[in-house]
Amino acid sequence: MSRVLQSAPPPPSAALRSFAAQWQARPADALTPLREQAMQRFLKLGLPTTHDETWRYTNLRSLAARHFVDAPPMARNEIEPHASLSLIGKADRAASLLMVNGYPTMPVADGLINGIEVYSLREVARLDPGTLLRFLEPLPDPDLQRWTLLNTALYVDGLYLKITGRVPMPLVILHVATGDGADNIAYPRVIIEATAGSSATIIEHHVAQGEHTPLSDSNTHITLGRDAQLEHYAVYATGAGATHFDSLNIRQARDSRCKQFTIVLGGGLVRTGIEAQLSEPGASLDSHALLVGYEARHVDCVNVVTHAAPDTRSAQTARAIASDVSRVIFNSKVIVNAGAVHSQSQQSCRGLLLSPSAEIDTRPQLEIHTDEVKAAHGATVGRLDPNMLFYMLSRGLDRATAQSLLVYAFLADVLTGMSVPSARASIENALIAQLPDSQTLRKFR
Amino acid sequence: MLTITDLHARVAGKDILKGVNLAIRPGEIHAIMGPNGSGKSTLAQVLAGREDYEVTQGSVSFAGLDLLALPAEQRARAGLFLGFQYPVEIPGVNNVYLLKAALNAKRTAAGEPEVDAYEFLTLIRQKMKFMQMNESFLTRGVNEGFSGGEKKRNEVLQMLVLEPKLAILDETDSGLDIDALKVVSAGVNSLRHPERAVLLVTHYQRLLDYIVPDHVHVLSGGRIMRSGDKTLAHELERRGYDWVLESQVA
């Protein structure tokens, strides 16, 4: 076994040393050379600091002194059934897959759920590592993808979903984080391949259970073949004590369409990032972010979309709300490569501050290396419009109701884009529960 | 019904109302006219309870209540309605939701049960037909994408549904073509009732051909400079506001 650390100086922080120790303890598999590269790169880069451009607003200093150990794999029957674990209703005939701390618990023997082929990553690595290597490619921007490098090095198992037909029913992946101590870490990994002409809806729902929530370093890699269509949801609903670094890589072939929703409803520190490549003409991506900060929560979302071919299209819509002493950050960047003519991109970021101590930072960026593109971006952060508020008060609505309706209206742009009615309803419910006067608001749905 | 006594108000540090006195009895229609900047809209907003408009002196009683002591929402529930000069667009809040919430707020305050959904929809459709409004109104956001005329019709529709004791209509005629003006006027006239009153704020006499007032007042420099019956409006139209101001000085 080759081991990176024997020749290198010891990593400078307890956290890095603990990651190195985890790496040392991993058994070799067919992916070891690739994993080793990733590990070396990660250790060289170290933990992100606020000097790193995309980590300016998120300080991870407190992590450095911690000694992380692997979160335990748990059997399915150890997870308590819980109402909050069900994001979508039976009416949509959705199937669900359970992953605990990144370990899938396979509910069906034949590996086919709602017409989607489902495999364990561990099994695929054993039987067909070539397939996996296609999806664990080198990353274009390691600064942004640092936690993905660590995930690549250290994930043990995960899910590979292969969509080959038109799948009408949504599939839910329920990620449960549950630890047996304070410094657990989990590395959930999901690979979704939508082959040419296929279509599906996948919902990833992150929740926590129990006293200790492991730090979650998760990654999802999505590939869309020619003409494929995918609607993907990432919903984060963990507790105030949870730290979550999630990244999503999207690769789109000719005329494929991806609709993505990032919904942050919980977690103490949640960092999400989309890195998307529109690789062939006609590829189209609509990404939506709904970021809700309250109490002392910290939400940081960084998206980078690259138009690498002509006639590609992307639209990003972000709505951020911050109350109490929370902080929400949304940064998006669109890169239009040389030759990607007739590309179209839109970025719309709007922030709503609900308390004087809350903070929202948003910055849409454009980097264009060709002519003949249409690119628009806009960002606003403000408070509730006093004219709108007065109008509603003058009609007799009480202040709390009026405020809640305005907050809800602010989020409506994103909610109305959701195609799965029961998922939309549950997300709305969860959102409303975070708003003032939620009781009254429910009556207006 | 409404008694305004020596009302002074300030907006953004500037004194706008400088001692307004006005009494409106049930069943009456009053018109307040005046040049631009005379304080007409300020008076309407102050009565409706706009918080950033500071009342520095005076009192207002409405239906036996100390109006100035109440927040805007309680004034509305007590039966005061302001038709806005520039109704705000609120995308994402459905027109019908807002109207239903408004009606229920009023009913709850009066100790009545909330309106039944079917009954409400029937009422809305009937009033919409009267106001010649498009069905699409039911599904749209509050004033969202409405033309100027549609917004004014929507204000009057809300008024018809809420049946206020006192309706203050701030330049409801501005920006209306003649057909829309007739529809809006018919709406206001349909509300005429011995127990209700209307205060029209307008710049032009034109509206008063369709809604005939019992009393006309000229507001200028933050005070009511002259009051009279409907003929005062015609005289103003003929001689202009300068006439009132000059005759006052003389």
The per-residue pLDDT string of chain B (250 residues; one tens digit each, 9 = 90 and over) reads 999 999 999 999 999 999 999 999 999 999 999 988 899 999 999 999 999 999 999 999 999 999 999 999 999 999 999 999 999 999 888 899 899 999 999 999 999 999 998 999 999 999 999 999 988 888 889 999 898 889 999 999 999 999 999 999 999 988 888 988 999 999 999 999 999 999 999 988 889 999 999 999 999 999 999 999 999 988 888 888 888 777 765 4
Q: In A, what residues contact B, Cβ < 8 A? A: 385-388, 390-399, 401-402, 405-406, 408-413, 444
ipTM of model over 0.85: yes
Is A94 a residue whose pLDDT tops 80?
no
Is A81 a residue whose pLDDT tops 60?
no
The alpha carbon of residue B22 is apart from the nearest alpha carbon of chain A, in Å, by 22
CB A276 within 8 A of CB A224: no
What residues of A are in contact with residue B141 (Cβ under 8 Å)? 409
Determine which of A385, A388, A389, A392 to mutate to test the interface with B (most B C-beta atoms within 10 Å). A392
The alpha carbon of residue B102 is apart from the nearest alpha carbon of chain A, in Å, by 5
For A414, which residue in chain B has the nearest alpha carbon?
B92
pLDDT tens-place string over residues A35-70: 999 999 999 999 999 998 889 999 999 999 999 999
pLDDT at A413 (0 to 100): 78
Reported as a pLDDT band with limits 50, 70 and 90, residue A83 is: very low
Smallest Cβ–Cβ distance between A395 and the set B50, B109, B158 belongs to B158
Helix (H) or strand (E) holding B119: helix B117-130
pLDDT at B241 (0 to 100): 84
Q: Taking CB atoms and an 8 Å limit, are A405 and B142 in contact across chains?
A: no
pLDDT tens-place string over residues A341-372: 999 999 999 999 988 999 999 999 999 999 99
Q: Is the pTM of this model over 0.80?
A: yes
Q: Taking CB atoms and an 8 Å limit, are B101 and A395 in contact across chains?
A: yes
Smallest Cβ–Cβ distance between A394 and the set B48, B52, B97 belongs to B48
Is A32 a residue whose pLDDT tops 80?
yes
Q: Taking CB atoms and an 8 Å limit, are A398 and B73 in contact across chains?
A: yes
What residues of B are in contact with residue A319 (Cβ under 8 Å)? none
Q: Taking CB atoms and an 8 Å limit, are A396 and B106 in contact across chains?
A: yes
Q: Taking CB atoms and an 8 Å limit, are A394 and B76 in contact across chains?
A: yes
Rounded to an integer, the average pLDDT of A241-264 is: 96
Is A316 a residue whose pLDDT tops 70?
yes
The alpha carbon of residue B81 is apart from the nearest alpha carbon of chain A, in Å, by 7
Smallest Cβ–Cβ distance between B72 and the set A390, A405, A408 belongs to A390
Query: How would you write chain A as a 3-class SS string?
Result: CCCHHHCCCCCCCHHHHHHHHHHHHCCCCCCHHHHHHHHHHHHHHCCCCCCCHHHCCCCCHHHHCCCCEECCCCCHHHCCCCHHHCCCCHHHCCEEEEEECCEEECCCCCCEECCEEEEEHHHHHHHCHHHHHHHCCCCCCCCCCHHHHHHHHHCCCCEEEEECCECCCCEEEEEEECECCCCEEECCEEEEEECCCCEEEEEEEEEECCCECCEEEEEEEEEECCCCEEEEEEEECCCCCCEEEEEEEEEECCCCEEEEEEEECCCCEEEEEEEEEECCCCCEEEEEEEEEECCCCEEEEEEEEEECCCCCEEEEEEEEEECCCCEEEEEEEEEECCCCCCCEEEEEEEEEECCCCCEEEEEEEEEECCCCCEEEEEEEEECCCHHHHHHHHCCCCCHHHHHHHHHHHHHHHHHCCCCCHHHHHHHHHHHHHCCCCHHHHHCCC
pLDDT at B139 (0 to 100): 85
What residues of B are in contact with residue A395 (Cβ under 8 Å)? 76, 98-99, 101-102, 105, 158, 162
pLDDT tens-place string over residues A4-25: 555 566 678 999 999 999 999 9
Q: Taking CB atoms and an 8 Å limit, are A393 and B141 in contact across chains?
A: no
Q: Check which CATH number belongs to the domain holding B141 and give it.
A: 3.40.50.300
What residues of B are in contact with residue A413 (Cβ under 8 Å)? 92
pLDDT at A443 (0 to 100): 58
pLDDT tens-place string over residues A137-187: 766 677 778 999 999 999 999 999 999 999 988 888 989 999 988 899 999
pLDDT at B152 (0 to 100): 93
Reported as a pLDDT band with limits 50, 70 and 90, residue A423 is: confident
Report how many Cβ contacts below 8 Å link chain A to chain B.
80
Q: How many percent of chain A have pLDDT more than 70?
A: 89
Given the DSSP bridges, would you call strands B223-228 and B53-62 parallel, antiparallel or unpaired?
unpaired
Domain that holds residue B162: 2-249
Tell me how many domains chain B contains.
1
Given the DSSP bridges, would you call strands A184-186 and A215-224 parallel, antiparallel or unpaired?
parallel
pLDDT at A210 (0 to 100): 86
Q: How many percent of chain A have pLDDT more than 90?
A: 66
The alpha carbon of residue B72 is apart from the nearest alpha carbon of chain A, in Å, by 5
pLDDT at A361 (0 to 100): 95
Q: Taking CB atoms and an 8 Å limit, are B93 and A409 in contact across chains?
A: yes
pLDDT at B10 (0 to 100): 95
pLDDT at A241 (0 to 100): 87
Reported as a pLDDT band with limits 50, 70 and 90, residue A84 is: very low
Q: Taking CB atoms and an 8 Å limit, are A392 and B98 in contact across chains?
A: yes
pLDDT at A404 (0 to 100): 85
